[in-house]
């Protein structure tokens, strides 16, 4: 009967004049089934990218869970989490430090307090990260006429990984600092600083390249005295700096990495110096050669030596040259111990109050940290410094030794105690010793 139906329908013509065959009929049926299937799965195929599942939201719960456990969160269509790595866009951390101190000198003792709020915004993307930090230090010492900003600052960082061998980092900063007043002073000068820098790092085989550029500016307020002349103008030390440099290193072995470093900087002053009567505008050229050793147990040693030339724009001022010596060491034998040390040489514009044309300074520091347990941490530190004013008989030196301990009360509260001994001497004045005891309470997010 089926054969008779096929024969009977075989001679029937379509409106286009084509004869329908069983093969055509089966093909048409398959296309209809495929069209219905496509219409059924079309909304799924056209939906957004489902980072946290396969798009069905109905299959194996293990494919959709967050973390491990029976209380895993399942998402409904149209209510998926954002595709950014973190929500909210910026991760916010904050802390507030409350500090009380007692300073003992030959002239007696002084009590002091300081509150230090800090806020940090960070974002981590696929190839880049950014952060913004805001902090302040509002201080008061016994005998002060008013509150002062011991520190006030903002810093922004942007880092972008162009490829697996190339990275770009940019920083912007704005800061204010004011020391406690010395004897005979009502208020120490406020020192403003702002600027930015950009660094491009590139790895090519055994070689590493680091190209950098920066701009910075310093502005110094007046010193307020208790007697005549009552104010001292420090604007002679206001200047701007533009600098650039290149560091090239190579890996001779996994342990030994020699490098060379060269830089050029230009300092432009706003006003003439009180010592010379002319502006101390100058261009500095420096070159270093050094070696970095990366040893087992997370130990890194680095040492370098070089020369620096400070070429003054005023031909009446003789150029200054100095030998640079730099070194640093870091050692972390395990998760409990961290030891660091550094030595550096710098040739910089004169400090506030100096009558020279430049300052040659040597600094050294060392620190040790020991984590006793998850709650207790012990710290120790030591510093040494010496400086010579070029073009003036001013010399100074000093050192400090301190120890401290941190106790973590809980995830959001920490207590700290510190003791610091400092000795400083500026010729021809006699040296001074200070003992400082500090207790701190820090509340954090």
Domain-located, residue 67: no
> Is 409 within the bounds of a domain?
yes
Residue 62 domain-assigned (yes or no): no
Domain span at residue 423 reads 91-444
Does 305 reside within a domain? yes
Q: What strands lie across the sheet with 223-225, from one edge to the other?
A: 185-187, 223-225, 231-232
Domain match, 199 and 288 both: yes
- Say if residue 242 is in the same domain as residue 319: yes
Structural domain includes residue 290: yes
Same-domain check for residues 228 and 114: yes
User: Are both 161 and 252 inside the same structural domain?
Assistant: yes
- Inside any domain, residue 63: no
Q: pTM of the prediction?
A: 0.75
Give yes or no: residues 40 and 166 share one domain: no
pLDDT in tens, the chain (445 residues): 434 433 444 444 444 344 445 555 555 555 555 554 544 444 444 444 444 444 444 455 554 444 444 444 444 444 444 454 546 778 999 999 999 999 998 888 889 999 999 999 999 888 889 999 999 999 988 776 678 889 999 999 999 999 989 999 999 999 999 988 877 778 888 999 999 999 999 999 899 999 999 999 999 999 888 887 788 888 888 999 999 999 999 999 999 999 999 999 999 999 998 777 889 999 999 999 999 999 987 899 999 999 999 999 999 999 999 999 999 999 999 999 999 999 999 999 987 777 789 999 999 999 999 999 999 999 999 999 999 999 888 889 999 999 999 999 999 999 999 999 999 998 888 889 999 999 999 999 8
Measured at the CA of 107, the angle between CA 103 and CA 109, to 5 degrees, comes to 30
* Residue 289, pLDDT score: 98
Q: Do residue 20 and residue 107 come from a single domain?
A: no
Verify that 150 and 27 share a domain, yes or no.
no
Letter string b/e over residues 126-141, b meaning 16 or more CB atoms within 10 A of that residue's CB: eeeebbbbbbbbebbb
31/116 same-domain check:
no
The answer as to whether 79 is a domain residue is no
Chain-centre distance of CA 299, in angstroms?
A: 22
User: What's the CATH number where 422 sits?
Assistant: 2.40.160
Let me know whether 114 and 18 are in one domain.
no
Structural domain count of the chain: 2
């Amino acid at each position: 009967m089926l054969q008779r139906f096929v024969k009977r329908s075989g001679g029937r013509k379509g409106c286009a004049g084509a004869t329908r065959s069983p093969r055509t009929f089966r093909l048409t049926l398959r296309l209809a089934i495929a069209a219905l299937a496509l219409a059924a799965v079309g909304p799924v195929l056209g939906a957004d990218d489902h980072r946290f599942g396969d798009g069905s939201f109905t299959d194996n719960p293990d494919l959709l869970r967050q973390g491990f456990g029976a209380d895993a969160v399942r998402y409904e269509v149209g209510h998926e989490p954002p595709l950014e790595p973190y929500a909210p866009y910026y991760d916010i951390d904050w802390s507030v430090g409350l500090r009380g101190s007692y300073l003992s000198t030959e002239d007696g003792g002084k009590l002091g307090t300081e509150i230090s709020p800090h806020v940090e915004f960070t974002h981590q993307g696929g190839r880049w990260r950014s952060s913004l930090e805001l902090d302040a230090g509002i201080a008061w010492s016994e005998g002060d006429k008013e509150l002062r900003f011991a520190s006030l600052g903002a810093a922004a960082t942007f880092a972008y990984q162009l490829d697996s061998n190339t990275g770009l980092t940019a920083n912007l900063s704005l800061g204010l600092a004011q020391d406690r007043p010395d004897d005979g002073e009502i208020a120490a000068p406020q020192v403003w600083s702002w600027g930015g820098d950009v660094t491009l790092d590139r790895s090519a085989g055994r070689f590493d390249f680091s190209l950098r550029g920066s701009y910075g500016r310093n502005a110094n307020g007046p010193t307020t005295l208790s007697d005549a002349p009552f104010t001292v103008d420090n604007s002679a030390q206001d200047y701007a700096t533009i600098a650039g440099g290149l560091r090239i290193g190579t890996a001779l072995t996994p342990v030994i990495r020699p490098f060379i470093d060269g830089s050029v900087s230009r300092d432009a002053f706003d006003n003439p110096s009180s010592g010379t009567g002319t502006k101390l505008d100058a261009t500095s050229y420096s070159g270093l050669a050094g070696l970095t050793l990366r040893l087992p147990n997370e130990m890194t040693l680095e040492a370098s030596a070089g020369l620096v030339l400070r070429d003054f724009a005023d031909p009446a001022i003789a150029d200054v040259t100095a030998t640079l010596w730099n070194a640093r060491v870091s050692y972390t034998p395990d998760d409990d111990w961290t030891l660091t040390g550094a030595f550096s040489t710098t040739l910089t514009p004169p400090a506030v109050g100096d009558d020279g044309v430049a300052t040659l300074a040597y600094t050294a520091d060392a620190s040790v940290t020991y984590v006793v347990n998850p709650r207790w941490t012990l710290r120790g530190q030591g510093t040494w410094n010496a400086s010579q004013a070029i073009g003036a008989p001013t010399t100074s030196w000093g050192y400090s030794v301190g120890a401290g301990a941190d106790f973590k009360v809980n995830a959001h509260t920490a207590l700290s105690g510190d003791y610091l001994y400092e000795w400083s001497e500026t010729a021809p004045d006699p040296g001074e010793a200070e003992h400082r005891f500090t207790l701190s309470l820090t509340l954090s997010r």
